[in-house]
Amino acid sequence: MPELAEPVVLVIGDDEFLRSQTTERVVARQRKARGNPDIPIEAVDASTSDALAALSDATSPALFGGERLVVLRSAEQATKDLVALVGEYAAAPDTEICLIIEHSGAGRAKALATDLQKAGALVERVPTVKSADDRVKYVRSEVASAGGKIDSKAAAALLDSVGEDLRALSSAARQLVADSGGSITVETVQRYYRGRADVKVYTVADEIVGGRVQTGLEQLRWALHEGIPEVVIADAIAESLRQVAKVAAAGRADPNTLAGRLGMPAWKIRRVRQNAGQWTAPGLSKAMQLAATLNADVKGGAASSQYALERAVVAIAEAKQIP
């Protein structure tokens, strides 16, 4: 069945990372439907103060025309004015634009998701990944989408080795496909990870984001010694910083109330909050810049990925001291 050029797409689900993955697939399909793999993307974060103006500009007719994709993230946090703008646009969309709206299904703008469905938006529901079985299925789907094969036992072994974080699992699954030639067995996972189930990348990341330089470096060196890919550790550090930023911006509300809005379980919000209160806004901004640089370094931008990681650990700790 051929892909259709949709004017408005609603991506709905409570996990932020899964929403972003679903959006990536929507973007690929919409580019294919429009016959142009290079259609530009404009992203707007609904939680920011300039979101109304940014979305208005992004969805306004271009002077010389041209197709584009516009992604509105965190739509559950939209203000009343932004909700009104989205509703008005959805009622009479520009055929040259595909507006993709990411929504958790909850939050202060919860009704927006229902209104968009009533307006005829194409709905892409994010898969629910909660239990260990769900995560095994998720790993298998990530491996398949990367062109590989993995059975349930091997997927469970990867889960034991990497941990439960979906971003880390996705990165590890794709790395294994690339390094193994595509066919992944329990033996492949064991050979690649060499029994490192006790070394969790997010333990390493938590130590680093928590500013505990010495233990962070020790955990990092142990993880590297055990063979955890540098890109997986870098992704974990970046994700931990993003979580700190989200929790810090959410204030002191009850974690159970915040869970749906932030796309994080309440227990994780409580844990992240312990680190969030120790960061200043300038320090966190600097740390996120460092994490972005690190991401490029471990993907070939630096002569030594391991040295880039150690350097980033120290620099992030220094950023935590910025007043």
CATH of the domain at 221: 1.20.272.10
Q: Is 0.85 topped by the overall pTM?
A: no
**Consecutive H or E run containing 63:** none
The domain that holds 145 is classified in CATH as: 1.10.8.60
The pLDDT value given to residue 200:
61
pLDDT computed for residue 64 by the predictor? 67
Q: Where among 170, 198, 226 does a domain terminate? A: 198
Residue 197 confidence (pLDDT): 41
Query: Which residues span the domain enclosing 302?
Result: 200-323
Q: Are residues 213 and 323 in the same domain?
A: yes
Regarding whether 309 and 252 lie in a shared domain, the answer is yes
Residue-level pLDDT at 43:
92
Count of domains for the chain: 3
Rg (CA), the chain: 21
Which burial class, exposed, middle or buried, applies to 132 when counting CB atoms under 10 A from its CB (0-12, 13-18, 19+)? exposed
Does 3 map to a domain? no
Residues of the chain with pLDDT under 70: 1-2, 63-65, 194-200
